[in-house]
Amino acid sequence: MTDMTLTLEQRYPAVFKQSILKRFAPLIALVAVVLYLLYAIWFFALPTVISQGKWDRLGDYMQQWIAYDVNAEYRLDGPTIVGKYPRFSVLGKDPHPDWLIPREGGYTIELGGAGQSVTFTKTAATLTNAGASVDLDLTSAEVRIVTPDVPPWLVVKGGEAVADMGFVGDVRVSTDRVKFRKRAFGWPNFLFDINSPFFGKSAGEVTSLITSGPDLLAGTPNYALAWDNIWFNAQWQHGDVWTKLLQTIVMAFAGTLIGAMVSFPLAFFAARNITPNKPINQVIKRLFDFFRSVDMLIWALFFTRAFGPGPLAGIGAIALTETGTLGKLYSEGLENIDDKQREGIASTGAGLITTQRYGVLPQVLPVMISQTLYQWESNTRSASIIGAVGAGGIGLKLWESMRTNSNWSNVFYMVLLILAVVFIFDNISNALRTRLIGKAQH
């Protein structure tokens, strides 16, 4: 019987007569993944966690990234209405904002540009929001709503009227005080804080003072004073933030460099074709496994306990982790070289070091440098994380701002700086790797 007379099934029995397990392997794998996901959802109680999550806080935090609040309280129980602002208000020590409008016997506070406002005297108040106005009587023991129809944005609780006006803020009115929170877009006092002589001045006024104005501080040029005020801005702390950012960059570079320098010679002992000694190979490879199996964050905790908080702990954590990671990558690269080049150079009578220099390094060095550059780029991000456990750098500064739960605009500022640094180093690393790999292909 020739091949032409055989059926397709007879000619390819391995394809048509597979075992049930092999035939349905993709379907079984898919079912297993779905079952595992369902188990994970049940085990971690994800529906309950999601339903109980405080999702409203997410919106609040995101708003605080790009906006700021002004909080104040106006007392109504004294001879005159007196406003009280926080000690370190973004408006300065004696605020007179244009949205605070004096009225006969009281004030109008404009919270938003769409008509959201509160007008009050010692005896009455009017809240305006979403095209509706509500009058309040403050002469009784508790706040009394005069307007018949109460809109949903106004509630009375605990003896005070609370008006939620959305993004622009809220107002609380009681018989003895009016408290408000006004929110606006922007980062106030980003250059000059309330203690600076440049505070509150327009860009034109600041430029004029720096270029041709009289010295605001005797013996110090205005340009030097302006730079000093920006660098030591008490609210935004530019000097400390940028110093910590530089620490993070140095941590990533120094840690990666030390890891590469240590792992490079060890990789030659771990490579089986370079060092044909199985015990030595296994010892070095297990050492690499140990260094990289312990997470960088855990190493940072160890070094923080050993040396105290600071960049030294971060450098040590990155160096140990990279010794394990780069050592594995380097040794695997060495094990995959073309041994003919090495053998050819060795046959000329060249020594061990000369053989490795001219028979091995030209094959793997571009790839090694490329891998090191990628790890350096990755460690720039990781250095920001390990700083949160005391390893120094901008991560520690970021964690301190997040713990207060009130400086979310400062948090966003530092996040943007980290993103900018990562973007820059990512492009530098990509450009260098492309050139190295390109050279290796010619």
pLDDT digits (tens, 9 = 90+) for 221-241: 999 999 999 999 998 999 999
- Nearest-angstrom CA–CA distance, 244 and 228: 18
Mean pLDDT confidence for 104-133: 92
Contact indicator for 154, 162 with CB cutoff of 8 Å: yes
Instruction: Check residue 216 and report its DSSP letter.
Output: S
pLDDT at 434 (0 to 100): 80
Asked whether the predicted pLDDT for residue 142 surpasses 60, the reply is: yes
| Residue 391 confidence (pLDDT) above 90 | no
pLDDT value, residue 349 = 76
Residues 6 or more apart in contact with residue 363 via CB below 8 angstroms: 337, 338, 341
Per-residue confidence (pLDDT) for residue 347, from 0 to 100 = 76
- Check whether residue 298 and residue 430 sit in a common domain: yes
* Local structure of residue 166 (DSSP, 8 states): G
Are residues 288 and 408 both part of a single domain?
Answer: yes
In a domain, 48, yes or no: no
Distance CA 226, CA 209 (A): 10
Residue 80 has pLDDT above 80, yes or no: yes
Query: Same structural domain for residues 162 and 247?
Result: no
The mean pLDDT value of the chain amounts to: 87
Judge whether 207 lies within some domain: no
The pLDDT of residue 440 is above 50: no
Residue 192, classed as helix, strand or coil, is coil
Split at pLDDT 50, 70, 90, the class of 389 is confident
Q: Are residues 173 and 259 in the same domain?
A: no
What residues have CB less than 8 Å from 121, skipping those under 6 apart? 81, 103, 105, 106
170, 185, 200: which is the final residue of a domain?
A: 185
Give how many domains the chain has, as a whole number: 2
Rounded CA gap, 374 and 41, in Å?
35
Amino acid 309: pLDDT: 83
Whether 223 is covered by a domain: the verdict is no
**166 and 252 share one domain:** no
Domain that holds residue 325: 238-441
Is residue 441 predicted with pLDDT exceeding 50? no
Rg (CA), the chain: 34
In a domain, 353, yes or no: yes
Query: What pLDDT shows up at residue 330?
Result: 93
Is residue 227 domain-resident?
A: no
Which residue would you say has higher pLDDT here, 406 or 261? 261
Q: Answer yes or no: do 179 and 262 share one domain.
A: no
Q: What is the model's pLDDT at position 353?
A: 78
Determine the pLDDT at residue 12: 65
Q: Are residues 176 and 298 in the same domain?
A: no
H-only helix segments in 169-237: 203-211, 222-231
- Average the pLDDT over 24-34 and give the result: 89
Cβ burial of 185 (10 Å; 0-12, 13-18, 19+) is exposed
pLDDT band of residue 10 (cuts 50, 70, 90) is: low
**What Å distances lie between residue 169 and 58, 136, 185, CA to CA?**
16, 19, 12
Task: Please state, in angstroms and rounded to a whole number, the distance separating the CA atoms of residues 143 and 157.
Answer: 10
Q: Which of these three, 164, 185, 206, is where a domain ends?
A: 185
* 442 pLDDT tier (thresholds 50, 70, 90): very low
226 within domain boundaries: no
Measured CA to CA, the distance from residue 136 to residue 139 in angstroms comes to 9
Q: Is a pLDDT exceeding 60 seen at residue 119?
A: yes
When comparing pLDDT for 56 and 127, which is higher?
A: 127
Q: What's the mean pLDDT in 326-330?
A: 94
Torsion sign across C-alpha atoms 181, 182, 187, 191 = negative
The residue among 154, 179, 178 whose CA lies nearest residue 164 is 154
Question: Are 159 and 256 members of one domain?
Answer: no
Same-domain check for residues 295 and 401: yes
Categorize the per-residue pLDDT at 319 as very low, low, confident or very high, splitting at 50, 70 and 90: very high
Distance CA 190, CA 42 (A): 47
Instruction: List pLDDT tens digits, range 174-185.
Output: 999 999 999 999
The pair of three-digit structure tokens given for residue 1, joined into one six-digit string: 């019987």
Tokens of 319: 């160096």
Within 10 Å of residue 69's Cβ, how many Cβ atoms?
Answer: 16
**In a 10 Å sphere around its CB, with 0-12 CB exposed, 13-18 middle and 19+ buried, how is residue 270 labelled?**
buried
Name the pLDDT band for 59 (thresholds 50, 70, 90).
confident
CATH label of the domain that carries residue 299: 1.10.3720.10
d(CA 156, CA 150): 10
Q: Does residue 10 sit within a domain? A: no
Q: Are residues 319 and 428 in the same domain?
A: yes
Q: Render pLDDT for 164-213 as a digit per residue (tens, 0 to 9).
A: 998 999 999 999 999 999 999 999 999 999 999 999 888 999 999 999 88
Specify whether 170 is located in the same domain as 252.
Answer: no
Question: 429 pLDDT exceeds 90?
Answer: no
The answer to whether the CB of 174 falls within 8 A of the CB of 160 is: yes
Beta strands per DSSP E along 30-66: none
Using CA atoms, how far apart are residues 91 and 111, in angstroms rounded to an integer?
Answer: 15
* In a domain? residue 213: no
